[in-house]
A and B are shown apart, each in its own frame.
Chain A
């Protein structure tokens, strides 16, 4: 299969190479899948289209977290398990046992699986030694996930270190243009952190209702959506379950819903997917042909 346009290597810019314009009077723009999104409803996004409801099949999700316990019944199956390892100062991403010493990554993976049962899950453990300052590991793991061409990356974590800001920003933009959507938990602390605050990602905070498919659009970002994040029954270490609260568990709900929509409409770009999420949100209603945010 040929490489889709958005996965191509970005061209180097140096003298002698044509810049970005296209002589459209002579050359037709490349073809690509498209919809004007006029018909978008929740039903359109992931409802039953005659073949059954969308289930996330064919969509590749990467969970950057504490690792995922593949044997947990709520996780079901893990395609691959990796860890960011310190190789004499160089951070490399290497395969590892599908284990989770904390339980948090397993919880996130379990939530994604509960929404999108057929999704393909990969884990990259970036929180390794329990110490903060692991922004470098987060960067290394995220760079790997973007290069690997995952459709979605679940990030229930963030960094407060401003030294990582420029590189993280560039990476988030790169992911966006390669159609790799980052879904990040909003940081529930009165501090400045990222990448959840970037416009190129989808940021998620919590609402306190029990329905896993209820989510709201927030017209006052940076937290763009509210999803279920209170008293969520989640997978935990050692095959167990706990009931837990935190934006960490809201983000994977939205990741799961993105996987559903993408499995039904593979052509969607991150900005289209974000628009679909907006149009299918519980507080967005269509009247007289236009969408409105219900107060």
Chain B
């Protein structure tokens, strides 16, 4: 598989991971909707990346200014929270109605934290199962958000390693590749990374 194909493959996996996260969240909490926002690293805006339930047809790609609303607080502080009776706050209702077409009664949100920084927010609107209680709900949402974050972290690492490959010419020529590896590893630089050594041993067997 060529490198660009692999990259778009990992993009599809990322979409599926995020979509599966919101589907699970929506079903576990029997909620009206669940969504994942990611923080645009350039502007700080929150962007809807995956939605299940209310708004799933049109919300993906919609942006919110940074630092506003419950999701904005969660992204900035890294703390999960629940806000109930939000319809009592006209500003909330107005903002939500204008941007999503749906006015929730309650919002629950947890940060998606990857490599020490908050890259997004997992949000659940109008969860209906209250038998667990708020503390258990927050814990469960936080765990779902953490799981999504680990998945995203793996994908990011995969992309980084893919991005490192095509830069060199002659990537398909095994002799050029071996030469390049040999050139990049300094002689007498002490013990090499054990994982890299194992991978090279496996590669040797495969190439034989």
Residues in chain A within 8 A of chain B (CB atoms): 66, 101-104, 127-134, 156-162, 185, 187-191, 193, 206, 208, 230-231, 236-238, 240-248
| A245-B81 in contact given A127-B76, A190-B142, A231-B134 (Cβ < 8 Å) | yes
* Mask: chain B, 84-104; 1 = CB below 8 Å from A; 0 = not: 111011110000000000000
Q: What's the least CB distance linking B116 to chain A, in Å?
A: 5
Hey, which chain B residues are within 8 Å of A66, CB to CB? Answer: 67, 73, 76
Residue with the highest number of chain B CB atoms closer than 10 Å, among A162, A241, A245: A245
Is B34 at the interface (CB under 8 A from chain A)?
no
Instruction: Report whether A243 and B85 are in contact in the complex, using a CB–CB cutoff of 8 Å.
Output: yes
- Alpha-carbon gap, A156 to B116, bound state (A): 18
Which among B76, B84, B146 is the interface contact of A191 at CB below 8 angstroms?
B146
Answer whether A162 and B111 are a contact pair too, CB < 8 Å, given A132-B39, A132-B75, A246-B80.
no
How many residue pairs link A and B with beta carbons under 8 A? The number is 139
The one of A127, A133, A159, A189 in contact with B80, judged by C-beta atoms closer than 8 angstroms, is A189
- B117 part of interface (Cβ distance < 8 Å): yes
Is B110 an interface residue, CB under 8 A from the partner? yes
Residue in B closest to A138 when the chains form the complex, CB atoms: B77
- Closest A-B pairs by Cβ, 10 of them: A130-B67, A130-B66, A246-B81, A132-B118, A245-B82, A131-B44, A243-B84, A127-B76, A157-B77, A245-B134
Query: Beyond A66-B76, A101-B67, A189-B79: 17 further Cβ-contacts under 8 Å?
Result: A66-B67, A102-B76, A104-B77, A129-B67, A130-B67, A130-B75, A131-B66, A132-B75, A132-B78, A158-B79, A162-B116, A188-B139, A189-B145, A190-B142, A191-B113, A241-B88, A245-B134
Chain A residues with CB under 8 A of B118: 132, 160
Contact of A242 among B39, B76, B85 (CB under 8 A): B85
B residues within 8 A CB of A102? 67-69, 72-73, 76
A189 touching B111 by the CB < 8 A rule? yes
Measured between C-beta atoms, what is the minimum distance from B55 to chain A in Å? Answer: 21
User: By the criterion CB–CB under 8 Å, are B44 and A129 in contact?
Assistant: yes
Cα–Cα, bound, A159→B66 (Å): 18
Most buried by A among B78, B82, B142, B146: B78
Would you call B197 an interface residue if the criterion is a C-beta within 8 Å of the partner chain's C-beta atoms?
no
- 16 A-B pairs whose Cβ atoms sit less than 8 Å apart in the complex: A102-B73, A130-B44, A130-B46, A132-B111, A133-B117, A156-B77, A160-B113, A188-B142, A193-B78, A231-B84, A242-B83, A245-B134, A246-B79, A246-B81, A248-B77, A248-B81
A134 contacts B76, C-beta separation under 8 Å: yes
> Which single residue of chain B is at the shortest CB-CB distance from A158?
B78
Task: Select one of A104, A128, A159 contacting B73, CB under 8 A.
Answer: A104
Residues of A within 8 A of B46 (CB): 130
Looking at the complex, which one of B66, B82, B91, B138 makes contact with A129 (CB distance below 8 Å)? Answer: B66
**How far does the Cβ of B140 sit from chain A's closest Cβ, in whole Å?**
11
Contact in complex: B76, A230 (CB < 8 Å): no
A160 touches B117 (CB 8 A): yes
Cα-based distance from A240 to B83 in the complex (angstroms) = 13
Which chain B residue shows the least CB distance to A207?
Answer: B135
Task: Give the docked Cα–Cα distance between A33 and B37 (Å).
Answer: 53
Across-interface contacts of A190 in B (CB, < 8 A): 142-143, 146
* Distance to closest chain B CB from A163 (angstroms): 8
**A161 in contact with B116 (CB, 8 Å):** yes
A243 to B88, CA, bound (A): 10
- Nearest chain A CB to B164 CB, angstrom units: 24
A90 to chain B, nearest CB (A): 20
- Tell me the nearest residue of chain B to A127, going by C-beta: B76
Q: Which of A128, A157, A159, A191 has the most chain B CB atoms closer than 10 A to its own CB?
A: A191
